[in-house]
Amino acid sequence: MGSETEQLQQIIDQLRREIELHNYRYYVLDAPTITDAQFDRLMADLQQLESDYPHLITPDSPTRRVGGKPREGFTTVQHTVPLLSLANAFGDGELKDFDRRVSGALSNEPYDYVVELKIDGLAVSLTYRDGQMVRGATRGNGATGEDITANLKTIRSIPLRLNKPVDLLEVRGEVYMPKKSFAELNRRREERDEPTFANPRNAAAGSLRQLDPVVTAGRNLSIFVYGIGAAELNGERLPDTHLAGLQWLESLGLRVNTYHQLCQDIDEVISYCRLWQDKKADLPYQIDGIVVKVNSLAQQQALGATMKSPRWAIAFKFLPEQAKTTVRDIIVSVGRTGAVTPTALLDPVTVAGSTVSRATLHNLDIIREKDIRIGDRVVIHKAGDVIPEVVEVLKEHRTGAEIIFNMPAVCPACGAEVVRPSGESAHRCTGAACPARLLEGLIHFASRGAMNIDGLGPAVLTQLVEAGLVKDVSDLYSLTLEQLLNLERFADKSAENLVRAIAASKANPLHRLIFALGIRHVGERAARVLAEHYGALPSIMDARLEELTAIMEIGPKIAESVVNFMREPQNRALIERLIDHGVNVVAEAAPTAGPGSPLAGKTLVLTGTLASLKREDAKELIEKAGGKVASSVSKKTDYVVVGDEPGSKYEKAVKLGVPVIGEEELLTMVKPVF
Ligand code: IVH
């Protein structure tokens, strides 16, 4: 290794150590010492170095957390030491029975217990070799699990490297989703009309079993490690109590829950369980009981295990909490994607440690299915200790005065028509300028695939909305330099650039504007088809359903959505305002690429980062030259365009003998059409 490379290696190592330390302080200790922006800068520096010197990338680099590619399925893993489950104890009596069994089996020798929170998530096993994480697996049936290494690596509280290079260590822990993330995930899924998860446990399990680690990475999972499966230490002795074991795991940089405690006898254990029955509601994650473990490892061994569970431990289970109350009213609220969601207003009642006065009813189907009426006596619970829900109606309490609920015909936030698109369970507001949907609509409008306005990201848009300067997308085109300069964070140059970028977007091709309007189900492809077919936005405004469905590539869902959107007077007025501002609403002349274009009729696949072209721009150029961009490589692919750090598509192209070209070649091929 040359000395320059050595120096570089040292710089990269140092940077990685620094990042790992801050990662540990943030995600494991919950005590960061630098700001998020400073952390992002360190990561950006490392990313830059690794992209300049790819041969110095290692699998345990902090940049590799989301490095894995989507897979076809999971491979199975044979656990060397099986992952047992726990027997349950409901109530004090069963805890005392357990204690009698322990005491008897230990022939009355002294013993103590460690009590821990029983985290409600998914059991996993992590294997470290020479201190490096080499494998992560689900518990499965205890003997065999699934290899989910790539997904587990995306969890920031799982160290990719231990503080000490232990020869071999296999630890067990629980991966969970914090209550807040669970509520947020379900809210988003409900708005998108996707099925919601019943509790944080299911959400964590669903997120871990994703074939694409990128999805897992976006789910904000975390871990608590609670036990050692196997260990080989060079010379060193393993701790001889469970408590010392937890402390040792912590010293290695693993995240151990802090609420564990040593108890001298079963009465202390019982008080600990009682304490958490009430206090569990205050935790940011869900627990479903308390785990009681004999502390001495020698005694654990002496007690042994049955086929299913150890005799030295038991899970004290909390009873699920429910309460009875009355539905006083049913109101609706409008979410960011326009979903109109009903909520029950309840007489306040305490459930799982907190006062509940409203419960989500999800959608009209669920209200009808459970037959929930205004005035009903109902049983409620908290889904996963978090989201209050109506479990059932106590119909025997009905007086006949109960009122059947119906969805409002117009949106309570903007007055636009509320529709229930066919095949969906959610009702939706059709108003593009609905204040409840404003920010999300603006972010989409300015985004790269849509109007592609540089410098107009979520942060700036939030500022503009908060300052009252933008009430719908057309307001963007009347923003002035002075207005921007009055806002925080804007200097002469940045304000000028933004005004210029907004003005430049007026000349965008029509399909970008159609996509930018955010009509449900109208993606980039459908927007292009509509632009090409109709040639001008005003014609689309008057398109009829049958006419739209007759177009190839426009299905009934898209057609219905376009008609609903264009029928709404507020949306028509918005389009008129955009036209008044001079935004282009006509399509370019017929495609410029003649049969002479080398890309006419060809199918291309893009992989890796191109040096000068953004992916959307490359796609646009190819399509203008008469070509098509596909997402996967097959024998029918004509060219694969390869940039930096190409994915598996590159390998596949080579394997299938598909010609591979670079950005420069692509640029020459698209040139003749300009
Ligand atoms: S100890 C042999 N400790 O509960 C002992 N388990 O049915 C095995 N769990 O599969 C488990 N928190 O998923 C232990 N502090 C904790 C736990 C815990 C949650 C889960 C784990 C296990 C299930 C037991």
Instruction: Select the more confidently predicted residue: 330 or 27.
Output: 330
Residues 128 and 26 in one domain: no
Residues 147 and 251 in one domain: yes
Residues 290 and 193 in one domain: yes
Q: Return the pLDDT at 660.
A: 87
Q: Is the CB of 228 under 6 A from ligand 1?
A: no
Within-domain flag for 497: yes
pLDDT (average), residues 569-584: 95
Within-domain flag for 111: yes
Lowest mean pLDDT segment, chosen from 59-68, 360-369, 557-566: 59-68
Buried b (16+ CB within 10 A) or exposed e, 338-366: bbbbbbbebeeeebbeeebebbbbbbbee
Three-state SS for 168?
strand
d(CA 531, CA 525): 10
Q: Which of 524, 546, 580 is the C-terminal boundary of a domain? A: 580
Within-domain flag for 614: yes
Query: In the beta sheet, which residues pair with residue 403?
Result: 374
Lowest mean pLDDT segment, chosen from 96-100, 464-468, 598-602, 670-674: 670-674
Lowest mean pLDDT segment, chosen from 278-292, 457-471, 592-606: 592-606
Q: Which of 84, 173, 92 is nearest to 128 (CA)?
A: 173
CATH for 611:
3.40.50.10190
Residues 192 and 116 in one domain: yes
Within-domain flag for 417: no
Ligand 1 geometric centre to CA of 171 (Å):
12
| The residue type at 165 | P
Testing ligand 1's pocket by substitution, the residue of 83, 84, 85, 306 carrying the most ligand atoms inside 8 A of its CB is 85
Q: Is the CB of 84 under 6 A from ligand 1?
A: yes
Residues 115 and 199 in one domain: yes
Residues 162 and 105 in one domain: yes
Predicted confidence (pLDDT) per residue in 85-142, tens digit? 999 998 899 999 999 999 999 998 999 999 999 999 999 999 999 999 999 999 988 9
Task: Collect all residues with Cβ–Cβ distance below 8 Å to 213 and sequence separation of at least 6.
Answer: 66, 67, 68, 70, 150, 151, 153, 154
Residues 330 and 311 in one domain: no
Residues 228 and 310 in one domain: yes
CATH for 122:
3.30.470.30
Q: Which of 377, 397, 417 is the C-terminal boundary of a domain? A: 397
Ligand 1 geometric centre to CA of 226 (Å):
8
Which atom of ligand 1 is least distant from the CA of 120?
Answer: 19
pLDDT (average), residues 323-328: 96
Residues 267 and 361 in one domain: no
Q: Is the CB of 226 under 6 A from ligand 1?
A: yes
Q: Active-site residue among 69, 118, 179, 602?
A: 118
d(CA 365, CA 360): 13
pLDDT surpassing 60 at residue 673: no
Residue 318 is classified by DSSP as P
Testing ligand 1's pocket by substitution, the residue of 81, 98, 119, 306 carrying the most ligand atoms inside 8 A of its CB is 119
CA nearest ligand 1 atom 12, residue:
118
Which atom of ligand 1 is least distant from the CA of 116?
Answer: 15
Predicted confidence (pLDDT) per residue in 50-93, tens digit? 888 888 888 888 988 876 666 677 899 999 999 999 999 988 99
Residue 137 phi/psi, 5° resolution? -140, 155
Q: Return the pLDDT at 318.
A: 86
Within-domain flag for 429: no
Q: Return the pLDDT at 68.
A: 60
CATH for 505:
1.10.150.20
pLDDT (average), residues 500-517: 94
pLDDT surpassing 90 at residue 249: yes
Tally of CB atoms within 10 A around 431? 27
Lowest mean pLDDT segment, chosen from 418-432, 462-476, 519-533, 595-609: 595-609
CATH for 38:
1.10.287.610
With cut-offs at 50, 70 and 90, classify the pLDDT of residue 566. very high
Task: Record the tokens describing residue 567, joined without a space.
Answer: 């029928």
Residues 272 and 151 in one domain: yes
Q: Which of 245, 334, 362, 229 is nearest to 296 (CA)?
A: 245
Ligand 1 geometric centre to CA of 318 (Å):
15
Pairing of strands 132-138, 122-129: antiparallel
With cut-offs at 50, 70 and 90, classify the pLDDT of residue 212. confident
Predicted confidence (pLDDT) per residue in 610-653, tens digit? 877 778 888 888 888 888 899 888 888 999 998 888 878 888 88
CA triple 418-421-422, angle to 5 deg: 145
Within-domain flag for 83: no
Q: Is 118 a catalytic residue?
A: yes
Q: Provide the domain limits for residue 627.
A: 603-673
Q: Which of 285, 427, 289, 405 is nearest to 344 (CA)?
A: 405
CATH for 355:
2.40.50.140
pLDDT surpassing 50 at residue 493: yes
Ligand 1 geometric centre to CA of 20 (Å):
28
Question: What percent of the chain stands above pLDDT 90?
Answer: 62
- Taking CA atoms, 218 is separated from 65, 155, 222, in Å, by 12, 10, 12
d(CA 166, CA 238): 11
Residues 569 and 636 in one domain: no
With cut-offs at 50, 70 and 90, classify the pLDDT of residue 594. low
Residues 570 and 639 in one domain: no
pLDDT (average), residues 393-417: 95
Ligand 1 geometric centre to CA of 292 (Å):
10
Predicted confidence (pLDDT) per residue in 273-307, tens digit? 999 987 888 899 999 999 999 999 999 999 999 88
Q: Return the pLDDT at 155.
A: 95
Within-domain flag for 412: no
**The total number of structural domains that make up the chain:** 5
**Cβ–Cβ < 8 Å for 284, 265:** no
CA nearest ligand 1 atom 6, residue:
118
Q: Is the CB of 118 under 6 A from ligand 1?
A: yes
Predicted confidence (pLDDT) per residue in 445-458, tens digit? 999 889 999 999 88
**Cβ–Cβ < 8 Å for 409, 417:** yes
Q: What is the 3-state secondary structure (H, E, C) of 522-553?
A: CCHHHHHHHHHHHCEHHHHHCCCHHHHHCCCC
Within-domain flag for 381: yes
Q: Which of 210, 316, 335 is nearest to 271 (CA)?
A: 316
Query: In the beta sheet, which residues pair with residue 360?
Result: 343, 389
> What average pLDDT does the chain have?
90
d(CA 162, CA 234): 15
Q: Is the CB of 310 under 6 A from ligand 1?
A: yes
Ligand 1 geometric centre to CA of 606 (Å):
46
